[in-house]
Amino acid sequence: MESWLMIIITLCISFFLKSIFNLLTFSKSNHKNKKLPPGPFPFSAIGCLLWFNADIQLILRDLKTKYGPLINLRIGSLRPSIFVASHSLAYQALVQHSAVFSDRPKDMQTVNSQRVNISFSPYGPLWRLLRRNLTSEIVQPSRVKCYSNARSWALSILIQRLLHAQSDSGQVARLIDHFQHAMFCLLLLMCFGEKIEGVRAKQIEDTQRRWLLSNSRFKKLIKFFPRGLGKIIFKNRWEELVQLQQEQEGIFIPLIQARMTAKSSEKISDGSNQETEDEAKVAPVACYVDTLLNLELPEEKKKLNLGQIISLCSEFLNAATDTTSTSLQWIMANLVKYPSIQEKLYQEICEVVNTGNPNEGKTNIVKEEDVQKMPYLKAVILEGLRRHPPVHLLLPHAVTEEVELNGYAIPKDSTINFMVADIGLDPEVWENPLDFKPDRFLDHDTTEAFDIIGSRDIKMMPFGAGRRVCPGYGLAMLHLEYFVANLIWHFEWKGVDGDDVGLSELQELTVVMKNPLRARVLPRVNQ
């Protein structure tokens, strides 16, 4: 135990000396006469707190009050870490200078060098190939429409789980678990082309979550250590991560191989054939894995290997499951907390559904084409994303060349962090920004006029902006609109007696409710 303590102390001293050396080197560099963004002293504990502390928002807001909307932090590194808390500066960086601000920091990489993904890839040919494949083959509108039956299937899973939980306990506990499971089943189908639910889906979901949490913790631990040294110091954590990675591969490889077999036997179509009750294994439309099997790496001129395909599938499941289910919980929590908003939304849904085709009779589902006719529904979704974005900081960006921002020099390779939550709560843009007021989005001529991705002006940025904007933002909006509309159409949502809906936040993989939503879910009489 004492020897371990001595190692830690030695490493801390070495790190501190390295920080001094870096600072002295930096002061003699070409940037010594240039005006850098303001920030605290480089050796303060703030940098470490920002990296290891789960709740960093209060620290950043204090720094913003003291230093302004552009904050410079250095954590013993030659490269500054800049935090941007202004919507106008975010627009200048991400849209007007998008090419310069579209890279990723060099130390932002997967732990396993054999794996790749879109989110962490440097700005270049590989990133363009992987992103273009996702946007053109999976999340483009015509392809998204092909998965309408899949969304209906996932909705039925969610409704049955809610009904079952309600009948068992009289009140639904931890609604987030049901949201995540239904969304995960949907994404499994879109990713692997196979209907997986129940115990098997839960096993895959648990394995994926444990791997993601372990990977996130390990990357934080080795952040300040030279490459490879962290794996030695934190040997047990590294072995745990390797074991979980092998477990993940054991699950994903058979699913990938099943798609290879399906492709070779020509069971996959362009979506023109409808799925029958007996087709429980192979989906009728191409899934994400199918598109990856056809890709060729731009520089190596060879196909993706299994490890790379597994990494991209893991990214697809994680990015589209956690962010959407988290947003869904926040939106439903506000609809429980504010019954008048819920009732107004329900009345809009009734008006649209009841004025549909009279020959169809009473419908038990809100169709996807119906939600496009509901401006208040879209306003509720937008307000939920503004007030409770699933991530409070975008994944870090890096600049490819020195650039000026707000009169300050941003050195080449600097890390740029965008404070999403603060931008969405700016009182100069939003009146009473802490209030949940969907009507604020009805002030536009149409809700479609609101620029959610900030191509014209950034007022909120739950999906980011510029070239690194979330490629699946359209799919995410559809999923939120579709599920919220149907949850309100099928059920009346009421708070649990004596349990006020709290909106405190907790940082996990996304920013979730500290006290998960609990509600009484009462079937509507129209069902």
Per residue of the chain (527 residues), what is the pLDDT tens digit?
A: 445 445 445 555 545 555 544 444 444 455 556 789 998 876 545 555 555 554 677 888 888 999 999 999 875 555 788 999 999 999 999 999 999 999 998 877 655 556 789 999 999 999 999 999 999 999 999 899 999 999 999 999 999 999 988 776 555 667 999 999 999 999 999 999 999 988 999 999 999 988 888 777 766 665 655 556 666 676 777 777 788 888 999 999 999 999 988 877 765 554 444 444 444 444 456 899 999 998 988 877 889 999 999 999 999 999 889 999 999 999 999 999 999 999 999 999 999 998 755 444 456 889 999 999 999 999 999 999 999 999 999 999 999 999 999 999 999 999 999 999 999 999 999 999 999 999 999 975 444 578 899 999 999 999 999 999 999 999 999 999 999 999 999 999 998 876 789 999 888 888 999 999 999 899 987 65
Determine the pLDDT at residue 5: 47
Determine the pLDDT at residue 485: 98
Classify residue 337: in a domain, yes or no. yes
Classify residue 278: in a domain, yes or no. no
Classify residue 26: in a domain, yes or no. no
Q: 43 with 371: CB under 8 angstroms?
A: no
pTM assigned to the model = 0.87
Q: 153 with 184: CB under 8 angstroms?
A: no
With residue 417 as reference, give the H or E element that holds it: strand 415-418
Q: 269 has which bridge partners? A: 285
Determine the pLDDT at residue 379: 97
Determine the pLDDT at residue 324: 96
Determine the pLDDT at residue 227: 56
Three-class SS of residue 186?
helix
Helix segments in 234-363, DSSP class H: 235-264, 288-293, 306-337, 339-354
| Single-letter code of the amino acid located at 246 | Q
Structural domains counted in the chain: 1
Classify residue 395: in a domain, yes or no. yes
Classify residue 154: in a domain, yes or no. yes
Q: 196 with 185: CB under 8 angstroms?
A: yes
Classify residue 270: in a domain, yes or no. no
Structural domain range at position 477: 34-264+284-523
Q: Output DSSP code: residue 108.
A: -
With residue 485 as reference, give the H or E element that holds it: helix 473-490
Q: What is the CATH number of the domain that holds 388?
A: 1.10.630.10
Q: Which two tokens stand for residue 493?
A: 């949502």
Length of the chain: 527
Classify residue 489: in a domain, yes or no. yes
Classify residue 63: in a domain, yes or no. yes
Q: Is 470 marked as a binding-site residue?
A: yes
